Structure 1
Amino acid sequence: MKLHQLQALIASAETGSIRAAARSLDISQAAVTKALRELETSQQLPLFVRTPSGLNFTEYGKVLLTHARLVLKQLEHAQTELDYMRGKAEGRLCVGVTPWIALTFLPEVVLAFRERMPEVKLELFESLMAVAQPLLRDGSMDFAIGQLHPSQATQEFACETLLDYQTSVLLRQGHARQGAQSIHDLLDQNWTLNYAPDGHDALMQDLFWKHGAQLDEKRIVRAHSLAILQMLVERADMCTWGPSILSIAPPFLGRVVSLSMIEQFEPRQLSIVSRRNSALSNPAVCFTECLLQVIRRHARSAKKEHRQLFETLRLLV
């Protein structure tokens, strides 16, 4: 396999057609077609199917595409490292950020990072882990700041734990069940939850099953963004579960309440999550350093609003 063949493969996947891939690579359609044909011939496997609407990738093609993206991402990291050694901190950094960090510490982190590495192009995702995991797998995302279940951490992802945070059931301010003291009091309610594709059973176990509760799963709406989840909680009277800190972070403050219940939920860990056996680039290390500096500064602060944040957090580094 040659680099230009992998570039043609990725461009074809991202643009959906050979013509668009040629435009994005600034080469001829014939050159893209030749590169793809050579790739298929060398592997002796069908990688894609041409259709009137564009290219559809076979299972073989999808596997190769994932690895091709990782190869190009590693080359991009190598270029970034060399630029850094030359005294030029350039390149691109893509980070997934769990929503409650985005609502609290992120603005200060971004300002600190931009001051240290102004030439690096920064791209941020709202990193509910359901969104982050596929991007981490194919190398589109450098790392995520979020929570990963321990069983996943031992397989394909590595975690550097930063802090513990408490979780709770969250309801709209003024909800009819705001006084509920047990998860069993909420089993007749509709819920909106977020979880990764392989995280369903772990969430159900932690939230319901281990407390002897069985929720009819037809009552669950799976939300893939914080905005959707918030709207369903505030305007559809749904219950949710998440970091307790959300109830005191804008835009939730005064609109969502954290319930105190007899059931105890295990604290979750906020971690730097990356692909296993993949070293972070210098810009990635810089971003994590800025994050830690901001969190530690807030932890030491005497301001009331900062002290409130750490009522449900415990710094581990």
Structure 2
Amino acid sequence: MTLELDPQLDLQSIRIVRAIAESGTITGAARSLGYSQPAVSQHLQRTEARLGLPLVTRVGRSVRLTEAGQVLARHAITITSALDAAAGDLADLAGLRSGTVRLAAFPTASSTIVPRLLGAMASLHPGIQLSYIEAQPPEAVALMREGAIDLAVTFSYPGDRTDPHRDSASGLSIETLFTEEMVVVLPAGHPLAGDPIVDVAGLATERWIAGCPRCRGHLLAVCELAGFDPLIAFETDNASAVLNLVASDIGVAMLPRLALATATLPAGAVIRPHTPPSDRSIHLIASDGARRVPSLAATIALLNTLEGHDWGLTAA
């Protein structure tokens, strides 16, 4: 004969059997579980009826587990210990004592936003492990789609036709952290270097130093508004390299303020606002349910405190 156990064997029954094994009495089990003795007795009777097996036998005023009860008690130790461990882990997550966050961000953020975030996380939430990889916005969105990262810090320019925050990011949560000013970088001896605001149209005959494809596209768009196509003679994503090329009178450039936050301005270069003015927006991309995960919610909250003024973005 094959015994078919009721699949509704519940955790409460398992806890009761373990408590009886530890206390030796139903009264003691009820006391340790915080229930009344009749409630425990009735629950035990219903469990025995479902299983078709007795779990305890009475011996005077105490009870003794039957063979079936001993089997269940033996498994109960493993089951309840695992549940307690799971509850502890969940409490750690909820209390931000543990958790993991996988972050991606663009190169400029590697020397500005990311170090500040890592320092804040280590100070405020030392139990959360934050890993980081560098990726341009399109790659970061793709990594998010693949489930390889949890959060991405990205950027976009107004009017960018290939903006990765459009169709490719559909279904994801996108919020703007801050918007930063774009500036031109000129050799200190340039005729327009003394102007408080430089008219980009006055740089129509200059050689330009361009950056990543998105930054290059933005430069083309601004110059188009100013009425000319720029002569792009050099390309580099390295802001320090751009500054030193400009200081050597190799060309002129357009950079976001964030790229200048950790770079040393050489004596031979100056930074000026320009007209027509332009800017760049810094975004945070996450899944729609990210804020329900305590470690991700904490990271998002910290990123929202790192506003543009923290990076010296208003100084000319």
Sort the TM-score into its range (normalised by shorter chain): 0.5 to 0.7
- When Rg is computed on C-alpha atoms for both structures, the one with the higher figure is 2
- Does the Cα contact within 8 Å between 1:171 and 1:240 map onto a contact in 2? yes
Letter in 2 for 1:89: S
Segments of 5+ residues of structure 1 without an aligned counterpart are 1-79, 300-305
Give distance in 1, aligned partners of 2:247 and 2:266. 11
Give distance in 2, aligned partners of 1:115 and 1:193. 38
Counterparts of residues 168-247 of structure 1 (less than 5 Å): 168-174=183-189, 178-179=193-194, 181-196=198-213, 201-205=217-221, 207-217=222-232, 219-221=233-235, 223-235=236-248, 237-244=250-257, 246=259
Give distance in 1, aligned partners of 2:296 and 2:98. 11
Q: TM-score, normalised by structure 1?
A: 0.53
Counterpart in 1 of 2:180? 165
- Does the Cα contact within 8 Å between 2:155 and 2:283 map onto a contact in 1? yes
Deviation of 1:160 after TM superposition, in Å, equals 0.3
Deviation of 1:195 after TM superposition, in Å, equals 3.4
Deviating more after overlay: 152-161 vs 120-129: 120-129
The answer to whether the aligner puts 1:252 opposite 2:255 as a matched pair is no
The answer to whether the aligner puts 1:273 opposite 2:282 as a matched pair is no
- The alignment yields a C-alpha RMSD, in angstroms, of 4.0
Q: Which of residues 147, 151, 165 in structure 2 aligns to 1:143? A: 151
Give distance in 2, aligned partners of 1:193 and 1:234. 15
Give distance in 1, aligned partners of 2:241 and 2:234. 13
Deviation of 1:252 after TM superposition, in Å, equals 2.9
Counterpart in 1 of 2:297? 285
Task: Give deviations 1:103-136, integer Å, cap 9, x for gaps.
Answer: 4x65443222112332433333455546645544
Segments of 5+ residues of structure 2 without an aligned counterpart are 1-88
Task: Give deviations 1:266-310, integer Å, cap 9, x for gaps.
Answer: 333222134x65736543332221233354xx96xxxxxx6x936
The answer to whether the aligner puts 1:124 opposite 2:140 as a matched pair is no
Letter in 1 for 2:105: G
Task: Give deviations 1:24-47, integer Å, cap 9, x for gaps.
Answer: xxxxxxxxxxxxxxxxxxxxxxxx
Relative distance call for 1:225 and 1:260 in structure 2 (3 A) is closer
Q: Which of residues 123, 148, 151 in structure 2 aligns to 1:115? A: 123
Deviation of 1:173 after TM superposition, in Å, equals 4.4
Give distance in 1, aligned partners of 2:110 and 2:227. 32
Letter in 2 for 1:309: G
Give distance in 1, aligned partners of 2:211 and 2:230. 15
Q: How many pairs were matched up?
A: 217
Deviation of 1:209 after TM superposition, in Å, equals 0.9
Letter in 2 for 1:189: E
Task: Give deviations 1:56-102, integer Å, cap 9, x for gaps.
Answer: xxxxxxxxxxxxxxxxxxxxxxxx98972596523342231562684
Give distance in 1, aligned partners of 2:109 and 2:246. 16
Deviation of 1:254 after TM superposition, in Å, equals 5.6
Counterpart in 1 of 2:53? none
Deviation of 1:172 after TM superposition, in Å, equals 4.7
Counterpart in 1 of 2:104? 95
- Does the Cα contact within 8 Å between 2:97 and 2:128 map onto a contact in 1? no
- Does the Cα contact within 8 Å between 2:199 and 2:276 map onto a contact in 1? no
Relative distance call for 1:269 and 1:81 in structure 2 (3 A) is farther
Give distance in 1, aligned partners of 2:153 and 2:193. 31
- Does the Cα contact within 8 Å between 2:207 and 2:230 map onto a contact in 1? no
Give distance in 2, aligned partners of 1:270 and 1:291. 11
Any idea what SS the aligned residue of 1:89 has?
A: coil
Letter in 2 for 1:213: F
Letter in 2 for 1:110: L
Give distance in 1, aligned partners of 2:258 and 2:95. 42
